[in-house]
Structure 1
């Protein structure tokens, strides 16, 4: 089994590896846990359809070269959707959003146009969902809480099991310096990203907690190549689409890559090696 990981807007990894089979793209081959992987850095995704189309073409070439790819990770930075009143729903810089099914079972939603009407805005969208949600299921299933047992030494080698401290109120307190992981669809679309009001309305409509810089052509290439499983992992670098707050991009990329590795290591070992 080969797992493909696209490194998108990640500053952690330099370009390495050698082109294969006459390919001009640069790939890095290796392993994570028990799984074989191939990774590449997509072309710089800009705010033009030409740029995103180039990223889709890169994906198509890669999947043509490595035809045994089974799972696709789109890893990089994005923009968080803040919640101004609910502490537990608020997405902050450095957090990670993993694309998981929302209200309509979609994991990625691209807004093509927002049309003003008497009732507000009507959004024209393209939505995507994998036919196999195994990667999302792994991201949503940490080890059982029953296995998180706390022991206290009472002298010599004697231990007693003790209860974990409980929060003083209903909020799930955030630890300083520690990102939180959120599960929701990821959204994109130049028109909605540029307008804060539209952005909040669209995020609320589709249940998204993060926006990125339009990778819908990449996802269309993945689905067009009959790959059943894909997931977007976005470290939050700003409150737009991940391209503006340069000082948070390296940390957000690191957080996203760490979550990606945890999901890969949570997968069953391959049986066809």
Structure 2
């Protein structure tokens, strides 16, 4: 808030960008005032509009823009949709003409392409975005050119070939442009191998900024022969921040190249204890054999006894067993991506096996200060038989478990007629009083096919915890959103929220608009409803709508009936939390699955933390 009054224009802009991500509606008035003070600076104006629309519902944002006399078109429209799902109808019909659009509008259009939030044909009805974005790298405005190359690098669907920039012309570009071109050249192993000579050129670039860009891109890739370039470059490099990036590449790939280990260890040993250099090298080497060597250096410097530390490992393992035996919550997932999402919201994890039990468990904990809630995490695989088998084994191995939660992805049941009940991709559905309906348990005659299953109600205790979260949501307290943000940071961009342009609803095979809703679509809405379950991968919108209308089904999945049967045989209740990844129709795909898995995991953490500690 204070930096909105800084003298430096870039600081003001970055302060507004930060408020767009971490601010609240209490910041809106300050943002509006910053917009008024900086109307003559298009970049600050755009950042202000973006922050305003990120923090306000669409209707209120529209009113604020009208009061400020800012029509929702051109650069203002590009800024407004950058961090929000607002004004999509205007965006779909907008066209940013490359030949005569103002530079601020082109810059913001490039940002949308980079964030993968731009509708296709943003620049022309006759051309796809990937066919046009390369034209902008030769634009006379240097920031437009830079943003076009940044967008090509950031968008996972774009690559070096979309740049339309001959590599032999790169030397004539400014350093900040060369930086991103070098990073594009090492976006993946194949591209890097095909452009090895260009990488050599980049390692000798006269600008440290450009060399740092290449070194940063190299951190995540390796192929045979690359070490010759890296080691020669490292020995000749005289800029510390570039050497740091090269060392991180070496540490991360030390198992692939033995020659990398010695320089990385020497740099680690010469760095101060607790320094950023050591922290970065440890992070890079985390999953390699170099990491224990680094820790030996640290322990030796501190005079700690490694053998004594090894002796301490057994008590820690014993402690994990003890926590597991007293655990009260069992979380079951079906897919590896669901299991990874739950692990990402845990504060502690330890693997555990049990004699006579084929399951491999994760013992985890949600920790708040001195308060610890231990959970057991098990992965079942798809289908009700697998869920039943895993749950039966888990309840036998951990008899103290009282609460069983099925967590993961599911298909959603949209309802355009009732916007309050309309489920969208990325939303969260938990099992409410309607419970679970096994819709493939049927009686079939020549005249009809009738579902014989009766809805099974969920755990009464967990339903109370979910009701408390509903109450907190009405008070604008949504703890799952913070857990979601932290988990995505931990898991990386592959678990980030997909563009709203990928949330397309169909009726009768044709795209139709979503009904207007009173909350922003950038965050998951939470729905209580019946869970439909069957050993069937549902891609039939007629069956989906029948389940919705007859049983108030909001989510459809494949495992809970098996888990429920196993729990019933042990006298336990269950609860279901699902993230919505498709609409159970012929257009079903995997685009939203990772994000749906992590929203379900984030809500599950909030649910468990809402349970009174006395239950543990």
| Fold match by TM threshold 0.5 | yes
Q: Name the CA shift for 1:189/1:35 in 2 (closer, same or farther; >3 Å).
A: same
Give secondary structure in 2 for the equivalent of 1:270: helix
How far apart are the structure 1 equivalents of 2:402 and 2:359? Answer: 20
Contact 1:110 1:189 in 2 (8 A): yes
Pairs aligned (count): 237
1:55-74 to 2 correspondences below 5 Å: 55-74=387-406
Equivalence for 2:359: 25
Distance 1:32 1:176, change over 3 A: same
Which one of the candidate residues 414, 425, 434 is aligned to 1:82?
A: 414
Query: Which residue in the other structure is 1:125 paired with?
Result: 453
Shift of 1:191: 6.9
| Aligned positions of 1:57-206 closer than 5 A | 57-102=389-434, 107-111=435-439, 112-113=441-442, 115=444, 122-130=450-458, 132-142=459-469, 143=471, 172-189=517-534, 193-206=538-551
Asked whether the 8 Å contact 1:192–1:198 carries over to 2, the reply is no
Give the C-alpha shift of residue 218 in structure 1. 1.4
SS in 2 for 1:179: coil
When structure 1 is superposed on structure 2, of 213-222 and 171-180 the one drifting more is 171-180
Q: What's the offset of the Cα at 1:27?
A: 0.1
Is the helix fraction higher in 1 or 2?
2
Name the stretch that deviates more: 213-222 or 190-199. 190-199
The CA deviation at 1:42 is 0.8
Q: RCO greater where, 1 or 2, for CA within 8 Å and sep 6 or more?
A: 1
From 574, 578, 592, the counterpart of 1:230: 574
Give the conservation status (yes or no) of the 8 Å contact 1:2–1:70: yes
- Asked whether the equivalents of residues 185 and 206 of structure 1 are also in contact (C-alpha less than 8 Å), the reply is yes
Match of 1:2 in 2: 328
Distance in 2 (alpha carbons) for counterparts of 1:55 and 1:146? 34
Q: Equivalent residue of 1:61, what SS?
A: helix
Partner of 1:140, secondary structure, is helix
Q: Is this contact kept in 2: 1:114–1:191, CA < 8 A?
A: no
2-structure distance, mates of 1:12, 1:217 = 18
2:468 aligned counterpart, secondary structure? coil
Structure-2 separation of matches of 1:146 and 1:238? 27
Whether 2:380 is the aligned partner of 1:42: answer yes
User: 1: distance between equivalents of 2:455 and 2:404?
Assistant: 17
What is the alpha-carbon distance in structure 2 between the residues aligned to residue 260 and residue 174 of structure 1?
21
Distance in 2 separating the partners of 1:224 and 1:253 = 28
Give per-residue Cα distances to partners, 1:219-244, cap 9 Å, x unaligned: 110111111x3210010011129x94
Give the unaligned 5+ runs of structure 1. 46-51, 150-170
CA deviations 1:167-226 (Å, max 9, x no partner) are: xxxx75221320100001101236793542232112211111111014312111011111
579, 583, 602: which one aligns with 1:258: 602
Please, which runs of 5 or more residues in structure 2 have no aligned partner? 1-326, 344-349, 478-515
Determine if contact 1:10/1:250 at 8 Å carries over to the other structure: no
Tell me how far apart the structure 1 counterparts of residues 335 and 612 of structure 2 sit (CA, whole Å). Answer: 28
Instruction: Tell me the C-alpha RMSD between the 2 structures.
Output: 2.9
Deviation at 1:129, TM superposition (A): 2.0
Query: Kindly tell me: are residues 117 and 100 of structure 1, through their superposed partners in 2, closer, same or farther at Cα, counting changes over 3 Å?
Result: farther
Structure number with greater Rg is 2
Please report the TM-score for the alignment, with normalisation by the length of structure 1: 0.77
Shift of the 233–271 alpha-carbon distance from structure 1 to 2, 3 Å rule, reads closer
Asked if structure 2 preserves the Cα contact closer than 8 Å seen for 1:138 and 1:267, the reply is yes
SS of 2:599 mapped into structure 1: helix
Name the TM-score, length of structure 2 as normaliser. Answer: 0.36
Q: Structure 2: how far apart are the matches of 1:95 and 1:101?
A: 19
